Amino acid sequence: MTESLKTKVSVNISRPSYGDGRKMMSISIQDEISGAQFCEVEIPYDEFVVALTSGMGYGVAELRGLDVLGKRREHKSIEFPFDSSKVKYKERENVAYNTALFHCPEGWAPSKYFGSQSSFGKNAEGVPVARCSIYRYVETTEEERLNERE
């Protein structure tokens, strides 16, 4: 990632109800082009009020997915030979995912979700298959990132 990246984001500020009684505000930031929620901040109520009134408060931030910021997520479906009847039911999604890794084109990653009715079946020739979505992130220009929602 470059030192500086300009991209459109959505910001969500909420007051979640925590079961342990914590009194915190939650601020999350999502990159519009990649869809990655890359920053989540928890800030105590009193610090949030200080931030609103004086311009700065303190909290804890979790950063993730920074490697895909500003990149466009592309996706498509793949189908590959897979006989789910030869795998224990509890293991079939994990085995299907590992098989999908083998059949995935270079630079693409398979989804771990195999819970759809169409995830397992037979193709037109009657061969047992599995189906899943695959995705990759591709570089974009600053113009693409800033014009994403226009």
| pLDDT tens-digit series, residues 102-129 | 999 999 999 999 999 999 999 999 999 9
pTM: predicted TM-score of the whole model, two decimal places: 0.74
Q: How far apart are CA 74 and CA 34, in angstroms?
A: 9
Q: What is the pLDDT of residues 3-24, one digit of tens each?
A: 788 999 999 999 998 889 889 9
Rounded CA-CA distance 63/40 in Å is: 7
Residue ranges of domains in the chain: 9-68, 72-138
**C-alpha to C-alpha distances, 69 to 24, 35, 150, nearest whole angstrom:** 27, 9, 19
